Structure 1
Amino acid sequence: MIKVFFHPGTDIRTAIAQVMSSSNSVYRSLPAGTMPPQVIQYSAADLPLVQLGISSASVPETEVNDYVNNIVRTELQSKCGVAMTNPFGAKSRQITLDVNAPALIARGLSPSDLSNALAEQNLILPTGSVKVGSNEFDVTLNGAVTAIPRLADLPVRTVDGATTLVRDVATVRDGPAPTTTIARQNGERGILTSIFKIGRTSTLEVVEHVKNTIPRMLSLMPEGINMRLMFDQSLFVKAAIGNVLHEALIAAALTAAMLLLFLGNWRTTSIIAVSIPLSIMVSVIALYLLGETINLMTMGGLALAVGILVDDATVEIENIERQMLLGKNPHQAILDGAAEIAMPALVSTLCICIVFVPMFFLTGVARSLFVPMAEAVVFAMLASYILSRTLVPTLVLYVMSGHHGHLKQAPGNTLARGFQRLHRAFEAGFERFRGHYVVLVSHLLKHKLRYGSAILGFCLASLGLVPLLGQDLFPAVDAGQIRLHVRAPSGTRIEEMPQHIDAVEAVIRQIIPKDEIADLLDIIGGPYSTRNTLFGNSGTMDTADSEIMISLRPGEHRPSVEYIKALRAALPKQFPTLEFFFQPADQVSQTLNFGVPAPIDIQFIGGKPEEVMPQVLAFQHRLQQIHGIVDAHIYQRMNKPALELEMNRQQLQQMGLSARDVAQNLLLTLSGSMQTAPQFWLNPPTAIRSISG
């Protein structure tokens, strides 16, 4: 897998076209059997939004895999912006010829002869049409074998009138392909596929589309197939946005309450409070026009602006009311009051907005994070100023005409009288506070040098705390999910891995209480497809790798970091032959890692692998001794066991063979014909093709 990073401002469409052109020109020079390159536009934010688990206790796994590839994929990807990985744990249907080696040798045949015979006798080719007289007929030919048992009747070779059939040297078997991955949902085998979003499609929209499509997909499948959504990232997004929205509403309510307490007039408070939601709505419209979305940063910016959105309207109303108290009629008071504070209010608003201007000069990840927040604040502030010049004076004219002044008339109900007493008590207390403040400021001004030096010294002394503060791009996020990577010794068969994972999960259940675990999902084996490799960031290399994903119940668990710390201490002691490291589970941390399994990625470039590896091991050992570094591991493994076969080319030449014959027959025997000469069997009723060879 090759990842190409471009400089900011690069035309990504032109870049993709150039990369595709270069890869296609190189493809002709690659060894036979190499799959064509796939060029996919990738973003660090292309992460799984939800895991879709499919399982069945009655339908064969090969049929479930066909339904996943032909129904689930088609239905889900019908929506723009939805992408999927190839299914993990799937058992694809494969028509296999199990060679009878003694019978094959006795007839002087080789596996390549059997593969060539299958390719020549089972054809998926069109024929054409023929015109006879005044009619035109479509011509069909029984080139494709319609039933799997009939593959055994195909001729392989005829010698001296004796024909060798497939059944004489091999057995036709209809079953699953060799297992490359195993997916288990809470201990039960099944199929798992990860669902992504592409482009600017909303996370919530994608997950909602999946939820709404599941009933339709189940109606197209046989009874007994179950579908379940797991590790739904939209729950985290909804909770995060909901929390920010909740805090913003509380801030708006507290701001309105504070204004009411200080002003003592519900009419002026209502006018000022109206400007808060209107300013936010204008900001949301502007963000939409710029292509931004409702996310944590934009919502955080709007929540940040709530407290200062009322400044312009408050100053405007207070100045208009002052003009009314001077005896002017409401219309003239509004004109004079608005004119007096027009320029000061504009300067004040621009001073707040200009603080966020430097964020627009940021680059990289920081720009993507903070520019939307700055835009949200700036648009809301500018909208607040415009509303204070237009809507607020209009509302004052209609709402406050004949009611200006602070509580001129005695209130008529008990609640109003109670609030009047509260307001007068607050004003009296505030006047006393202001008197004490004047005395304090006067004292400070008399000894300004002494107090100025003390404050300056305190500020300088506080700078000594800077080295003690940690530095990070984004704060830690507890999404209630844990990702644990498990590595067995290199060369471990995939059939041996489930028992290791069962033992590890037993320890996990001992440390994490059962009532706090929502889902336990494990994927055993490597990414068997190019697409899964491109979109995967788990660090999985081969069958000895496994990933365990733990989902905790929302609001019912202790901090995830505590469980990670406990597992990090317990697992290596109980399983010394296994390697463990944790990976970020939340979308924010995965995005900031730019698609690699860890926040810090160190690369060694140049030199032979056998010479570089000792240096890498020594460097890893030194890293593990640094306080604060955990889970330092080497991505590549160079110690996988291998059997080396050496050919004697002279003896092969004497026997009438070549190195190509040996390599080709070895490939067919160990890996099948799919790599170099793919062959398929077409199922007539369903028109679904299966690999044969």
Structure 2
Amino acid sequence: MWIVRLALRRPYTIAVMTLLIMFGGIFSLKGMLVDIFPTIDIPVVGVVWNYPGLSTQDIERRVTSYSERSITTTVNGVSKIESNSIPGTGLIKVFFQPGTDIGAAIAQISSAAQTILRVMPPGMQPPMIVQLNASSVPVAQITVTSESIPEEKLFDYGLNFIRLKLFTIPGLTVPAPYGGKSRQINVDVRPETLAAKGLSPYDVVTALQAQNIILPAGTARIGNFEYNMSLNSSPEAVDEIAKIPIRNVNSQIVTIGDVATVSDAFADQTNIVRVNGIRSTYLNILKKADASTLDVVKATRAIIPQIKATAPPGLDLKLDFDQSRFVTSAISHVLVEAIIASVLVSLMILLFLGSWKNVIVVCTSIPLAILAAIIGLRLTGNTINIMTLGGLSLAIGMLVDDATVAVENIHRNRTLGLPLTKAIIVGAEQIALPAIMATLSIC
């Protein structure tokens, strides 16, 4: 075995390599991402078109079909396209060939969407483009509870204050809160009154859009000062919305208040959150694919006291569903297994061979082999996750077997009268091939 002969001829070189492996392994371990599952790159992009009130057939015919045709003809690397049309929403999943640059693909999809807006129904907004990634999973939840604050204010505080604080954490995304009520100005049209005036709901929408605008109007010079001017017709109160004119019918101005009821209310609540029986809200903490679960959760825990310091009296924040605990537990189990294996092998060698030197050799080889494996994981772009930790756990068992057999075989050759150097070389040569084949069969 050339590596054994090299170690015997150049002990100082091996000592330096051992130190390099030790420090390199520790450095690699600190710089690696820690997560539950390995990074899974799925080349899929979702395109979501929204047009409230449009029927399923119209969404399919006037939105989804145009978008599919545009993506197929202008975006590179498309493997297949799946679409689903429901009332008011069209969802398109674009699957790409492996190795496709998803960033460039998203840019092409966005450009194609802007191009076809002119043939879409009037008022159609650009779609929401989402990269579907299996690694972007919830790693924690923040519950927002209070016995004195109503759930609509909890929702508003979570949406407009807590999320803004959390967005300062690198590698984190936070969707809108679950639970609570979202404020909404409702215009409930009375169909009978509207029909009697010869109007349609579209006339009400047109009137709202025409009056709810802000336009630049140039500048005004007064003395030594110049002021920017603008025309602002946006209503400042609910009562002003009711006074917006729709049309002149029979020499009479019909306003929105004449045909509809305007109210400062809430959107339809689609989910309810209860914490210990109290209506509450919670925010999902999602990590990005290139972020570490431990780092994201740690930063979230650190920022919660800052949010509490500026929160309204009676509002309580708590971090629940901490997924980093599973990662920490898995790492702890691997370390415990390594320690137990080293102790048991040391006791066995000390009991049967009676040599402290052999004990030191075995106890040193196991952690060094693990550190060398970590360096390899870092160089190949892997992360510390359940899969890699499971592989290291399995490797510890094989290391124990190989180290025990190697030490025992060298000891046997010594008892046969071979000198130490010859016993080491012969012992390594005798077990090298069987050990390699046994390891490969397990892998």
Shared fold, TM over 0.5 = yes
Structure 1 counterpart of 2:327, from 237, 240, 243: 237
The 1:155/1:18 distance shift into structure 2, 3 A limit, reads: closer
Greater mean deviation of Cα atoms: 260-269 or 105-114: 105-114
The 1:41/1:161 distance shift into structure 2, 3 A limit, reads: closer
* SS at 2:227 equivalent: strand
Structure 1 match to 2:377:
287
* SS at 2:274 equivalent: strand
Structure 2 match to 1:397:
none
Deviation string for 1:628-654 (max 9, x for gaps)?
Answer: xxxxxxxxxxxxxxxxxxxxxxxxxxx
Structure 1 counterpart of 2:264, from 155, 160, 174: 174
Q: Does 1:117 align with 2:207?
A: yes
Structure 2 match to 1:62:
152
Structure 2 match to 1:249:
339
The amino acid of 2:139's aligned partner reads L
* SS at 1:49 equivalent: strand
Q: Which whole-Å CA distance do the structure 1 matches of 2:196 and 2:113 have between them?
A: 46
Q: Which whole-Å CA distance do the structure 2 matches of 1:125 and 1:349 have between them?
A: 79
The amino acid of 2:126's aligned partner reads P
Structure 1: any 5+ residue segments left out of the alignment? Answer: 357-373, 375-693
Structure 2 match to 1:226:
316
Structure 2 counterpart of 1:81, from 171, 182, 192: 171
Structure 1 counterpart of 2:131, from 41, 47, 52: 41
Structure 1 counterpart of 2:284, from 184, 194, 210: 194
Deviation string for 1:646-667 (max 9, x for gaps)?
Answer: xxxxxxxxxxxxxxxxxxxxxx
The 1:20/1:100 distance shift into structure 2, 3 A limit, reads: closer
* SS at 2:406 equivalent: helix
The amino acid of 1:64's aligned partner reads L
CA contact (8 A) 2:183 2:264 kept: yes
The 1:19/1:97 distance shift into structure 2, 3 A limit, reads: closer
Q: Which whole-Å CA distance do the structure 2 matches of 1:160 and 1:16 have between them?
A: 52
Question: Which of these two proteins has the greater Rg computed from alpha carbons?
Answer: 1
Structure 1 match to 2:62:
none
Deviation string for 1:296-333 (max 9, x for gaps)?
Answer: 222222222223335358736974896699697xxxx5
Deviation string for 1:593-630 (max 9, x for gaps)?
Answer: xxxxxxxxxxxxxxxxxxxxxxxxxxxxxxxxxxxxxx
Q: Does 1:315 align with 2:409?
A: no
CA contact (8 A) 1:88 1:183 kept: yes
Q: CA deviation at 1:97?
A: 2.7
Q: CA deviation at 1:15?
A: 4.4
Deviation string for 1:339-358 (max 9, x for gaps)?
Answer: 545655654565456557xx
Structure 1 match to 2:389:
299
The amino acid of 1:219's aligned partner reads A
Structure 1 counterpart of 2:355, from 265, 271, 278: 265
Q: Which whole-Å CA distance do the structure 1 matches of 2:302 and 2:96 have between them?
A: 37
The 1:164/1:17 distance shift into structure 2, 3 A limit, reads: closer
The amino acid of 1:129's aligned partner reads T
* SS at 2:317 equivalent: strand
Greater relative contact order: 1 or 2 (C-alpha under 8 angstroms, separation 6 or more)? 2
CA contact (8 A) 1:90 1:191 kept: yes
CA contact (8 A) 2:169 2:300 kept: no
CA contact (8 A) 1:272 1:314 kept: no
Q: Which whole-Å CA distance do the structure 2 matches of 1:344 and 1:25 have between them?
A: 71
Greater mean deviation of Cα atoms: 274-283 or 21-30: 21-30
Q: Which whole-Å CA distance do the structure 2 matches of 1:224 and 1:124 have between them?
A: 39
CA contact (8 A) 2:304 2:317 kept: yes
The 1:147/1:75 distance shift into structure 2, 3 A limit, reads: same
- Aligned-pair identity in percent equals 39
Q: Which whole-Å CA distance do the structure 2 matches of 1:302 and 1:326 have between them?
A: 38
Q: Does 1:208 align with 2:298?
A: yes
* SS at 2:149 equivalent: coil
Where in structure 2 are the equivalents of 1:518-667 lying within 5 Å?
none
* SS at 1:200 equivalent: coil
Structure 2 counterpart of 1:129, from 215, 219, 234: 219
Structure that is richer in strand per residue: 2
Q: Which whole-Å CA distance do the structure 1 matches of 2:202 and 2:284 have between them?
A: 38
CA contact (8 A) 1:263 1:269 kept: no
Q: Which whole-Å CA distance do the structure 1 matches of 2:194 and 2:172 have between them?
A: 49
* SS at 2:396 equivalent: helix
CA contact (8 A) 2:213 2:233 kept: yes
Q: Which whole-Å CA distance do the structure 2 matches of 1:341 and 1:19 have between them?
A: 64
Q: Which whole-Å CA distance do the structure 1 matches of 2:309 and 2:239 have between them?
A: 31
Q: CA deviation at 1:176?
A: 0.8
* SS at 1:239 equivalent: helix
CA contact (8 A) 2:178 2:271 kept: yes
Where in structure 2 are the equivalents of 1:313-352 lying within 5 Å?
315=406, 319=410, 333=420, 336-341=422-427, 343=429, 347=433, 350-351=436-437
* SS at 1:94 equivalent: strand
Q: Which whole-Å CA distance do the structure 2 matches of 1:308 and 1:85 have between them?
A: 45
Q: CA deviation at 1:8?
A: 4.0
Q: CA deviation at 1:276?
A: 1.4
Deviation string for 1:413-438 (max 9, x for gaps)?
Answer: xxxxxxxxxxxxxxxxxxxxxxxxxx
CA contact (8 A) 1:145 1:151 kept: yes
* SS at 2:295 equivalent: helix
Q: Which whole-Å CA distance do the structure 2 matches of 1:235 and 1:300 have between them?
A: 16
Q: CA deviation at 1:256?
A: 1.9
CA contact (8 A) 2:143 2:317 kept: yes
Q: CA deviation at 1:94?
A: 1.0
Q: Which whole-Å CA distance do the structure 1 matches of 2:97 and 2:314 have between them?
A: 51
The 1:188/1:199 distance shift into structure 2, 3 A limit, reads: same
Structure 2 match to 1:488:
none
CA contact (8 A) 1:95 1:174 kept: yes
The 1:125/1:352 distance shift into structure 2, 3 A limit, reads: farther
CA contact (8 A) 1:320 1:336 kept: no
* SS at 2:128 equivalent: coil
Q: Which whole-Å CA distance do the structure 1 matches of 2:224 and 2:430 have between them?
A: 93
Q: CA deviation at 1:159?
A: 6.4
Q: CA deviation at 1:28?
A: 5.0
* TM-score between both structures, scaled by the size of structure 2: 0.65
Q: CA deviation at 1:148?
A: 3.6
Q: Which whole-Å CA distance do the structure 2 matches of 1:122 and 1:5 have between them?
A: 40
CA contact (8 A) 1:244 1:303 kept: yes
* TM-score between both structures, scaled by the size of structure 1: 0.44
Q: Does 1:93 align with 2:183?
A: yes
Deviation string for 1:397-422 (max 9, x for gaps)?
Answer: xxxxxxxxxxxxxxxxxxxxxxxxxx
Q: CA deviation at 1:291?
A: 2.2
Q: Which whole-Å CA distance do the structure 2 matches of 1:33 and 1:154 have between them?
A: 20
Q: Which whole-Å CA distance do the structure 2 matches of 1:116 and 1:160 have between them?
A: 20
Q: Which whole-Å CA distance do the structure 1 matches of 2:399 and 2:309 have between them?
A: 52
Q: Which whole-Å CA distance do the structure 1 matches of 2:109 and 2:198 have between them?
A: 48
